[in-house]
Structure 1
Amino acid sequence: MLSLRTIRRLCAAADAVALAAIAAGLSRPKFKSHFVASSGSSAPPPSDPAPTDQAGSEPDQDQRPVFSEPALVRLKKERDPEELFRIFQANAQNRLVVENRFAFEDTVARLAGARRGDLIEQLLDQQMALPQGRREGFATRIITLYGKAGMPAHARRAFDEMPGRRTVLSFNATLRVLCRSRDLSSVQSFLVSARSNLGIRLDEISYNTLIKGLCEAGSLESAYSLMADMEREKLKPDVVTYTTLMAAAYKRGRREVGDGLWNLMVLRGCLPNAAAFNARIQHLVSRNRAWQARGLMKKMTAVGVRPDQLTFNLVIKGLCRAGEMEMAKRTFLAMRDAGCEPSMKIYQTMVHYLCLAEQFELAFRLCRDSMSRGWFPSVASVRSLLGGLSSISKEDCAEEIVRLVRARASPCAAGEPEALQSAASPDGKR
């Protein structure tokens, strides 16, 4: 009987032989043998290999493996609408493409930019006919994409022809698309059809969508009556409802209606959010009440609502228009303390009004900061700044602005940098 030591040595030897065989198989060149035996016959002997110009020359270029780029990469690179459509169509059942929301929306947006509604229709109809089109969530995406492409009639048809179950989810998506088209007759017919044939009951989102559509179409009275309909349907108007109605009232100069809606919202215990405050602040700024707008922004923080970029931009613009540049600068500097980064519009506002106030050095610093972020003020503002810097003998600062304009993409037209260069020169002083 073999001892345990002998068995271990035999196993080790067998492992070594197996590894050697595997290594020999991996190192053997992969080509078909000319001596493979077939049934009843043998292959002819191989002919002499063709002579090569150099020993060890590389294989022919055509024999190298060709790897195609992933579909998402090809979609991103493609600029021709026809080829873009073909790539997406060929990957209609590729989940990496179809379930990628950005790739889907970007493809439709670029086809819409090329005014190829025919390709969009073919692409989205193909998707609706595939198994994923039976999911209501996916069908809702198709309806939304038709809306973004400016094809509301196709969105309505996609809803009517949905193969799966239709609920208030897909109904709201279709309603939103139709309301954006501002065709109230199509909205009315869709409402009647969906409620009578499908038994769909409107929810808060449905009513808010309808109210917004009516406000944008100028039918304020109809929008107000819808809020009363909500309450009759045991639905409570929310902050979106009040904000939409308030903004529309203020925009059309009906201050008493807007103020009444604000008071009603607060009395009913519906706390305003940043959008509601912004609607009221915008109204105050439009009536040249910048200090009241700033006071309302301070109240936002007191009640726990964080001012956003739009809030700061409205207040800063109102203060600048009122000639309160010092307070505008203090508000601008307080943005970062409030955890809010300045936006391109805020930089544009500050540079424009600082130039009007002839505070060119601060305008230069803000303009340089804005350009370093890739945000270029308007050509008129840059020209005014360059002229002002030249007038106070700050040609080096003016040259730096011109270098930034030349070095990075900006909305300047062809030849504009040369015109700005002349404005920055001493001869171009105002």
Structure 2
Amino acid sequence: MHFLSRLVHRFSTVATSTSNVGSISTDLYKEKDLKRLVDKFKRYSDLERFRTKTGIYKETVRRLANAKRFRWIEEILEHQKQYKDVSKEGFSVRLVALYGQADLPKKLGIEPDQVSYNTVVKAYCEMGSLDSAIMLLDDMEKKGVEPDRITFNTLLHAFYMNGRFGAAEMIWERMANRNITPDIRSYNAKLYGLAMEKRTKEAVELVEEMRYKTIKPDVFSFNALIKGFVNEGKLEEAKWWYDEIEKSDCAINKGTFTILVPLVCEKGDLDFAFELCKKIFGRRCLVDEELLQLVLDSLVKESKIEEAKELVELSKTNDYCRYNLKFSSNE
């Protein structure tokens, strides 16, 4: 008996000491026995890094909900209460899993409030269940729970970013009808929607509207405009808005470079591409290696060997991130 106890303790220690959350996720995904799934989940929850991976939590609860193992969902939730950092997340995920069940209030013993609804709306949007998110908005209003700016911003972002521009505009109208004033997040969502629709003229007009309403555009606003012009293949306009970022005292970020650099290389403006790379390193910006490799390959192709060598040197000698850039075989 003592040997068995030690063996169980050893297994538990090994399982919870691993730092490879990816392996844990795979283990849970492959586990077909739902009771063992619950037991493993509870054991892995001792790891703080595991508890931050809410996607694993949602997938586990989803599987249990689909199998109608609601008692085991409750068991997981009860277990999570010992961890202060996830108790609220556990509650919200339970709502996600059970919402839509006819006996939701009876199962949970609660009446969802605005915060609960907003959490579930966000979860549905993250899962791509946009129609369910809208149905939830309808349900809020039906039950007298007032949606707020957080509710609408969550929906606007999801619908604009997923190319459902018309539906997003209807959400915008519903927000206006409730006299909820759009903020920078609302406008940025719409700007990205316009960029994806290649409606840059309207996007520029929207930025002017923001300024008129004293809503200062931020780097995400400018990135959306740059993305719009990039999508239309208009390099000079994209460069103009790139310059506007610094004029507006905003900090250029990874997204700016990621959006702009490919078009710059495609259009053959390699001097500018090289300048962008130097700014990346100067600002200690963490971009994907593929982006820098694209510039390097373009420089080599146009026989700009000195610039190419300098870029490789910067990639190796900077003091914040080493990149493994390689000259193409044609060099």
TM-superposed CA distance for 1:120, in Å, is 6.5
Instruction: Rate the CA distance shift 1:259–1:399 in 2: closer, same or farther, 3 A.
Output: same
Unaligned runs of 5+ residues in structure 1 are 1-80, 87-106, 128-140
State the alpha-carbon separation in 1 of the partners of residues 81 and 154 from structure 2: 34
In structure 2, the residue corresponding to 1:304 is in which secondary structure?
Answer: coil
Residue number in structure 1 paired with 2:3: none
State the alpha-carbon separation in 1 of the partners of residues 266 and 123 from structure 2: 39
Residue number in structure 1 paired with 2:118: 208
Q: Which residues of 2 match residues 259-270 of structure 1 at below 5 A?
A: 259-270=169-180
State the alpha-carbon separation in 2 of the partners of residues 285 and 163 from structure 1: 43
Percent identity between matched residues is 25
Residue number in structure 2 paired with 1:317: 227
Residue number in structure 2 paired with 1:113: 22
State the alpha-carbon separation in 2 of the partners of residues 200 and 282 from structure 1: 37
State the alpha-carbon separation in 1 of the partners of residues 287 and 79 from structure 2: 47
In structure 2, the residue corresponding to 1:362 is in which secondary structure?
Answer: helix
State the alpha-carbon separation in 1 of the partners of residues 123 and 44 from structure 2: 29
State the alpha-carbon separation in 1 of the partners of residues 268 and 49 from structure 2: 53
Residue 159, structure 1, aligned to residue 77, structure 2: yes
- Give the one of 281, 284, 288 matched to 2:191: 281
Q: Which residues of 2 match residues 84-99 of structure 1 at below 5 A?
A: 85=16
Q: Which residue identity does 1:159 align to in structure 2?
A: L
TM-superposed CA distance for 1:249, in Å, is 4.0
Q: Which residues of 2 match residues 2-401 of structure 1 at below 5 A?
A: 85=16, 110-115=19-24, 121-122=42-43, 124=45, 145=52, 147=54, 149-150=56-57, 151-152=60-61, 156-160=74-78, 170=87, 173-178=89-94, 184=97, 186-188=98-100, 192=103, 195-196=105-106, 199-216=109-126, 219-250=129-160, 253-372=163-282, 373-379=284-290, 382-388=293-299, 391=302, 394-401=304-311
TM-superposed CA distance for 1:260, in Å, is 2.2
State the alpha-carbon separation in 1 of the partners of residues 160 and 191 from structure 2: 10
In structure 1, the residue corresponding to 2:277 is in which secondary structure?
Answer: helix
Instruction: Rate the CA distance shift 1:406–1:179 in 2: closer, same or farther, 3 A.
Output: farther
Q: How many residues align?
A: 291
TM-superposed CA distance for 1:225, in Å, is 3.4
Q: Deviations over 1:196-242 (max 9, x none)?
A: 26642211121122333444555544433332332333322112222
Q: Which residue identity does 1:174 align to in structure 2?
A: G
CA RMSD between the two structures? 3.8
Say if 1:111 and 1:120, in contact at 8 Å, map to a contact too. no
In structure 2, the residue corresponding to 1:258 is in which secondary structure?
Answer: helix
State the alpha-carbon separation in 1 of the partners of residues 167 and 315 from structure 2: 47
Residue number in structure 2 paired with 1:102: none
Say which structure, 1 or 2, has more relative contact order (CA 8 Å, 6+ apart): 2
Instruction: Rate the CA distance shift 1:377–1:360 in 2: closer, same or farther, 3 A.
Output: farther
Q: Which residue identity does 2:293 align to in structure 1?
A: V
State the alpha-carbon separation in 1 of the partners of residues 80 and 267 from structure 2: 60
